[in-house]
Amino acid sequence: MITLTSDPIDVALAMKDIQSEQAGAIDIFLGVVRDNTQERPVDRLEYEAYDRMAISEMQKIADSAHTRWPILRYTIIHRKGTLQIGEIAVLIGVATAHRADAFEACRYIIDTIKQTVPIWKKEVFTNGEEWVNAHP
Amino acid sequence: MNSSVSVLLFGITRDLTGQSTIPVSLNEGANVGDLLAQLHQSYPALTGIRSLLVAVNGEYAETDLTLTSNDEIALIPPVSGG
């Protein structure tokens, strides 16, 4: 399942969604808001998405992961809006029969999300703000 | 014949132009590359962005794709999700 939401991410609920009796491994990756960027203190992050395309690009990534690993169940949840330090920005959950596939699929999904999904984050510092990756 | 399309802006492109959509007038047969050239001319600040892609109807588009007035067009600055 793919979700783009303004609400806080519920890890226990996400895990319940991907549990399967055939699964011997469940990997859950959490991307969380860090309090600094290259030692510059961050106050909060502001996420923005091109909703319809963000969802379709995340679905493409999930479909592609499905063809590469024997995934039993998965969930991808991405936040948008303002996030405070320590909040979960993204959750990837993958259930497979064996752990190697779960680790690899989970890593592939988060790495590819960072490359192709039209979601943007702005770091808000105490003395300024900056869209991440935007400048050369 | 000219047609007018509106281009959706996000992230840094919205901040630089101060707008979330900008109207662009396209010549018949104009493609994605023509649109980008026109936008760069009207908004020189956009050239400071590391890369700028275009999505048409929710899909990344090549520069030679021809645009029509019914297309949903969006500028995609470097993504930074996750």
**Average pLDDT for residues A115-123, to the nearest whole number?**
97
User: By CA distance, what is A89's nearest residue in B?
Assistant: B82
Residue A16 sits at φ, ψ, to 5 deg, of -60, -35
Whether this model's ipTM surpasses 0.90 comes out as yes
- Is the pLDDT score of B1 beyond 90? no
**Residues of chain A contacting residue B77, judged by C-beta atoms under 8 Å apart:** 120, 131, 134
The residues spanned by each domain of chain B are 2-76
- Whole-structure pTM value: 0.96
Confidence of residue B33 (pLDDT cuts 50, 70, 90): very high
Touching check for B58 and chain A: CB below 8 Å? Answer: yes
Q: Kindly report the backbone phi and psi dihedral angles of residue B79, in degrees, each rounded to the nearest multiple of 5, phi listed first.
A: -80, 155
Helix (H, G, I), strand (E, B), or coil: what is residue A101?
helix
Look over chain A and give the mean of its residue pLDDT values, rounded to a whole number. Answer: 97
Strand stretches in chain B, DSSP E: 2-8, 21-27, 53-56, 59-61, 73-76
B78: contact with A, CB 8 A cutoff: yes
Q: How far is CA A23 from the centre of its chain?
A: 21
Token pair 């330090």 in the structure block, residue: A85
Question: What pLDDT, on a 0 to 100 scale, did the predictor assign at position A20?
Answer: 96
- pLDDT value for B59: 98
Topology adopted by domain B2-76: Ubiquitin-like (UB roll) (3.10.20)
User: Which domains does chain A possess?
Assistant: 2-126 (3.90.1170.40)
Residue whose structure tokens are 């840094």: B12
Q: Would the pLDDT of B2 be above 80?
A: no
